[in-house]
Amino acid sequence: MATDRPIILITGANTGLGFEAVKALANSSTPYEIIVGCRTTSKGDDAVNQLQKEIKTSSSLSTLQVDLESDTSIEKAIQEITSKYGRLDVLVNNGGASFDPHIASGKLSIRDGFNKSWDVNVSGTHVLTHHAIPLLLKSSDPRLMFVTSGTSSMHETIAPDMPPPIQRINASPDAGWPKPAGLNPITTYRSSKAGLNMLTREWARILKNDGVKVWAISPGFLATGMSGLSIDMLKKMGAMSPSVGGEFIRDVVQGKRDGDVGKIVKYDGGIQPW
């Protein structure tokens, strides 16, 4: 289907930050072809139906089944985009997961939790990006984004002058073993997101001479269901509405951070150190 509208694929788009990114783009004055990537098509359809009830949009919304843990699913998704559109203008690698709560509760072993975290947040994202590159290279303004985390900065684990939220997550517990269980364990999650940051740098390097704009997106501390904590608890801890992150992704899509290509851009206008 030939179209002059920018074609955008957002993974993990049926809930949380991904849903808010779809909403922000659909609510924009610019019409888009927005592809709602999701593991379960019915959940993606429900998200699209909800959005169409909430807002009037000139954009077209469609769902696409894409499971980052399945090469078959990824390859089929890319084939569908190729057949329907023949190109892709924006890929927002938002799909991700935190398995730290599952490790803490005993539902997953440390090894299994780490492996699943890296499979979803890094390996699956890398495979999808690899298969999507030929479609992006057919765009006149290709944009590639990797949604990272404010907890992923290695520099900030040693910097003494960080704000209180960063100081809190990087503080060392008292001596002794076992260590007390944290309110929000993030070791597995933040490690995989640090890996995703390196993946961002690699794709920025690989695609530099192809004109593809690449960023890592640090959307801020958002009240989503990813952490395993309740939304009310997260808000008490200072988490912002996911809409803040969704609007930020829209801004990057629309060119407001084009001066910061190849970096980790933050929702507040800053740059996150690696």
Active site residues: 149, 189, 193
- What are the two backbone dihedrals, phi and then psi, of residue 148, each rounded to the nearest 5 degrees? -105, -155
Residues 61 and 56: their CA atoms lie apart, in Å, by 12
Is the CB of residue 73 less than 8 Å from the CB of residue 65? yes
Residues 148 and 156: their CA atoms lie apart, in Å, by 15
Handedness of CA 49, 37, 225, 112 (dihedral sign): positive
Length of the chain: 274
How far from each other are the two terminal CA atoms of the chain, in whole angstroms? 40
Residues 66 and 43: their CA atoms lie apart, in Å, by 12
Per-residue tokens: 217 = 């997106």
The counts of H helices and E strands in the chain are 10, 8
